């Protein structure tokens, strides 16, 4: 798939089959993630262990429910699981103040790469809650996040299974030209 086609085709997928992605596809996604522009170091932690994915999912849901507002509303939807059953989750962490910006560049590259490989994917900011609360430090260690790093976001990937929780809000992206 051409790069521009993959960029335009990418969308957030929120329902996954249990089948794992291949190591070849995983490595291609990680290469894309490491190839983005970056001002400083960042780290990618690949989580494919089902028990740990469940732990991250459950801690995220708990944090969303405790947070109130949109996050609570979302987490209260019937059948809502914040990691959406994805078999692969990649945490993006860093120690410096450029971390979130770097993570976003890296994440978008991985989302587009996953799309080009025929996989579903989604950018997750919600998982940050799992690492912020009680038990967060132990979870960071369990995920292999380097000491001193903060989790800035995550990317999930897998084979799409339906359209549950598909994005429906209108995209407000405006442009102006000065020529």
Ligand X SMILES: Cc1cc2nc3c(=O)[nH]c(=O)nc-3n(C[C@H](O)[C@H](O)[C@H](O)COP(=O)(O)O)c2cc1C
* Contact residues for ligand X, defined by CB under 6 A: 11-12, 14, 122-126, 167, 169
Structure tokens, 30: 């990680």
What are the residue ranges of helices labelled H in the chain? 3-9, 23-34, 50-67, 69-75, 99-116, 128-132, 136-142
> Between 22 and 76, whose beta carbon lies closer to ligand X?
76
Q: Are 87 and 20 in contact, with CB atoms under 8 Å apart?
A: yes
What is the nearest approach in angstroms of ligand X to the Cβ of residue 128? 8
* Smallest distance, ligand X to C-beta of residue 64, A: 9
Q: Which is nearer to ligand X, 149 or 152 (CB)?
A: 152
Tell which residue, 63, 116, 56, has the closest CA to residue 88: 56
DSSP 54-87: HHHHHHHHHHHHHH-HHHHHHHTSTT--TTTT-S
The Cα 83–Cα 131 span in angstroms is 14
> Residue 22 or 118: which CB sits closer to ligand X?
118
Find the shortest distance in angstroms from Cβ 165 to ligand X: 7
> Least CB distance from residue 124 to ligand X, whole Å?
4
- Least distance CB 127 / ligand X (angstroms): 7
Our CB check for ligand X shows the closer of 67 and 135 to be 67
| C-beta of residue 106 within 8 angstroms of C-beta of residue 34 | yes
Minimum CB distance to ligand X smaller for 27 or for 118? 118
């Amino acid at each position: 798939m051409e790069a521009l086609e993959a960029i335009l085709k990418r969308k957030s997928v929120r329902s996954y089959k249990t089948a794992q992605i291949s190591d070849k596809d995983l490595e291609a996604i990680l290469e894309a993630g490491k190839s983005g522009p970056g001002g400083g170091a960042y780290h990618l932690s690949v989580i494919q262990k089902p028990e740990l994915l469940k732990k991250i999912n459950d801690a995220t849901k708990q944090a969303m429910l405790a947070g109130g507002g949109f996050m609570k509303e979302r987490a209260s939807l019937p059948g809502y699981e914040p990691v959406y059953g994805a078999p692969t989750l990649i945490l993006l962490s860093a120690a410096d103040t450029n971390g979130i910006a770097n993570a976003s560049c890296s994440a978008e590259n991985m989302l587009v790469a996953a799309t080009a490989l025929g996989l579903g994917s989604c950018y997750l900011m919600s998982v940050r809650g799992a690492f912020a609360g009680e038990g967060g430090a132990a979870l960071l260690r369990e995920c292999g996040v380097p000491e001193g790093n903060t989790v800035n976001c995550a990317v999930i990937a897998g084979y799409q299974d339906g359209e549950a929780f598909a994005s429906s809000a209108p995209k407000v992206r405006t442009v102006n030209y000065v020529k």
